[in-house]
Amino acid sequence: MRYSIAAAALAAACWAGAAQAQHDTLSIGIAQFPSSLQPDIDAEVVRSYAMGFVIRQITAFGPDWKNSCLLCAELPTLDNGLVKIEDRPDGKKGMAVTIKLKPDLEWGDGVPVTAKDIAFTWKLGSDPASGFSNPNPWNRASSVDVVDDHTAVMHLTRVRADYNQWDQILPEHIEGPVVAKAAGAGDYLTGTVYNRAPLTPGLYDGPYMITGYDSGAQIVMEPNPHWAGTKPGFKRIVLKHIENTAALQANLLSGDVDMVAGEGIGLTIDQVLALQKQHPDAFHYEFRPSLAFEHIDLKKENPLLADVRVRRALLMAMDRQTMVEKLFHGTQKVATTWVNPLNPYYDPSIPVVNFDLAGAQALLKEAGWNPGADGICTNAAGARLSFELGTTAGNRLRELQEQVLQSNLKNACVEITLKNEPARTLFGETLKKRLYTGMEMYAWGSNVTESPLRTLGSSQIPTVANNYGGSNYIAFSDPKMDADIDVAETELDPAKQKLVWADMQKIYAEQLPVLPLFFRSEAHVTPTWLRGYQPTGQGDLSSYWAENWHPA
């Protein structure tokens, strides 16, 4: 299907027509495009969103923030006997987690989804050289027993709190030959069928499968004829990439797209607030507080950022509260650490760093920085306190945030130059290979009570050796944090969990490896005729339940 951009002046007529039409296609505007379709490579929200329509996790947290089965027949627990604590050969305690797949699962080519696919994904994902952005679900297990076609037992190396949280699995019959041919590190990443032949039906076990793909432009999905769950409500779903959020809004108003993705990859919240005010009845609007953590990564190797006093001064010079009030109408909450107040392990005793320009200037002076003739600080060696700040190009609101922060920091004698990149470049290359020189602004998403291993664990620093897997883009490495993460992942007592989470937040607030900005309240704009759409506000996205979406 081809799309044309109508004049914004015809918007009202388009809305009226849309309200009366029978809808068999749902066109969704996205402001970013995945750098890869392989579901485990690169930590991108847009990739997770796109693949959520076509490939499913074994388990996921739903809109109610409760863990449930997507591919499994029954959620494994200690109470129902599908999880057992077992003795390991080294004398320590581990876990045997039995995963029972639903019996009628099939890939898009009709090949059954089996426990062999689980074992294959475990073998690939637990390989340090796999390049998986989140290998944690798989490297928890030291071995897998394939009991029958629908049953696998994962033998965990230790007792873990997240024993029944499992990611998507990959089709052995499609990806297995690619892995077998891989001669060295990186060969699988370049050879995966998800990128080389994304229209291959056997790649997908969800309600939809990808039937059209134009890199950087759009992804077309149609129902998977071998899906045994709830029948999908649309004959076609199209993800249409419109990188500039102003253009995306124009496309929505013109009727060129029916809705925009709401998980931080669509319109910015200020656009949606204005849209709701101007056209209150044209769309359905929903604002969902989320765990998405907007922040600024700091380049660890930059000597100007090595002194924690400088990092703290930068944060003190940022008037974050005024920024969220002016740009977001107060809908976003200023962040202290990566842990959202919605998280049950949030520690309210961690002090908020308030805006204090005089305090920031004094702290910089204490660290050896004094304003020069042009107002920018220099030190005794003559170095200027100057940084590049980057973010996703085309995101109007982030660009406004940059300008506000640039002005704030200039008042504290810090020079900021802006250098933005397309999201595919930022997430596909710049962040994971740490090619930036100063600061990068973006958001981390997380699941309910997910430990910070991916973003703060020293084992998750992307390197050449691990094919740039992991998501610790700031290369944060702290033995105490690593030890706390270890406890957070293994402690079953909620009270003890709360204590260790409090310690992790304290370490984070003291060291400031990133500059916390705010937690996003995500804006969702959907057509008034769409039913079954439920945003989640956390890392398991709305598209994971897209089979429930249907026209009125």
Q: For residue 349, with 0-12 CB atoms within 10 Å meaning exposed, 13-18 middle and 19 or more buried, which class applies?
A: exposed
- d(Cα 529, Cα 264) in Å, to the nearest integer? 22
Average pLDDT over residues 164-179: 96
The whole-number pLDDT of residue 4 equals 36
For residue 1, is pLDDT > 50? no
Q: Which of 278-287, 391-400, 452-461 has the lowest mean pLDDT?
A: 391-400
Average pLDDT over residues 370-380: 95
Please give the C-alpha separations between residue 150 and each of 105, 126, 147, in angstroms, as whole numbers: 9, 21, 8
For residue 134, is pLDDT > 80? no
Task: Indicate the pTM of the whole model.
Answer: 0.77
pLDDT, tens digit (0-9, with 9 covering 90-100), for 520-549? 888 999 999 999 999 998 889 999 999 999
Average pLDDT over residues 211-227: 97
For 539, the token pair is 């890392």
**Ranges of each domain in the chain:** 23-54+177-288+523-551, 59-174, 290-521
Q: Considering the chain, what percentage of its residues have pLDDT values greater than 70?
A: 95
For residue 262, is pLDDT > 50? yes
The whole-number pLDDT of residue 185 equals 57
pLDDT, tens digit (0-9, with 9 covering 90-100), for 109-128? 999 999 999 999 999 988 87
- 483's enclosing H/E stretch is helix 479-490
The whole-number pLDDT of residue 20 equals 38
For residue 511, is pLDDT > 90? yes
Q: In 3-state terms, what secondary structure has residue 547?
A: helix
- 59's enclosing H/E stretch is strand 59-61
- d(Cα 314, Cα 302) in Å, to the nearest integer? 14
Confidence of residue 5 (pLDDT cuts 50, 70, 90): very low
Which DSSP symbol is given to 53? T
Q: Strand 67-69 relative to strand 386-390: parallel, antiparallel, unpaired?
A: unpaired
Angle between helices 308-316 and 357-366 (to 10 degrees): 160
Range 44-59 burial, b when 16+ CB lie within 10 A, else e? bbbbbbbbbbbbbbbb
The whole-number pLDDT of residue 135 equals 63
For residue 17, is pLDDT > 90? no
Average model confidence (pLDDT) for the chain?
Answer: 91
CA angle in degrees (0–180, nearest 5) for 544-446-470: 100
Please give the C-alpha separations between residue 175 and each of 109, 249, 253, 465, in angstroms, as whole numbers: 14, 38, 41, 22
Q: In 3-state terms, what secondary structure has residue 413?
A: coil
Average pLDDT over residues 495-512: 96
For 323, the token pair is 């920024």
- The answer to whether 238 and 24 are in contact (CB under 8 A) is no
- d(Cα 536, Cα 548) in Å, to the nearest integer? 14
Which of the listed CATH numbers 3.50.70.10, 3.20.20.120, 3.90.800.10, 3.90.76.10 matches domain 59-174?
3.90.76.10
CA angle in degrees (0–180, nearest 5) for 189-190-194: 75
The whole-number pLDDT of residue 11 equals 45
Q: For residue 1, with 0-12 CB atoms within 10 Å meaning exposed, 13-18 middle and 19 or more buried, which class applies?
A: exposed
pLDDT, tens digit (0-9, with 9 covering 90-100), for 415-444? 999 999 998 899 889 999 999 999 999 998
Please give the C-alpha separations between residue 158 and each of 86, 87, 88, 136, 403, in angstroms, as whole numbers: 9, 9, 8, 13, 48
Residue 250 has, within 13 A of its CA and on its CB side, a CA count of 12
pLDDT, tens digit (0-9, with 9 covering 90-100), for 306-364? 999 999 999 999 999 999 998 888 888 999 999 999 888 999 999 989 999 999 999 99
Angle between helices 479-490 and 494-511 (to 10 degrees): 160
For 298, the token pair is 């700091």
- The answer to whether 108 and 202 are in contact (CB under 8 A) is yes
Q: Which CATH superfamily is domain 290-521 in?
A: Dipeptide-binding Protein; Domain 3 (3.10.105.10)
Which of the listed CATH numbers 3.40.50.1970, 3.40.190.10, 3.30.70.20, 3.10.180.10 matches domain 23-54+177-288+523-551?
3.40.190.10
CA angle in degrees (0–180, nearest 5) for 68-73-79: 70
Confidence of residue 137 (pLDDT cuts 50, 70, 90): confident
Which among 551, 544, 549 is positioned nearest to 206, based on CA atoms? 544
Q: In 3-state terms, what secondary structure has residue 148?
A: strand
Please give the C-alpha separations between residue 503 and each of 26, 474, 508, 536, in angstroms, as whole numbers: 46, 20, 9, 28
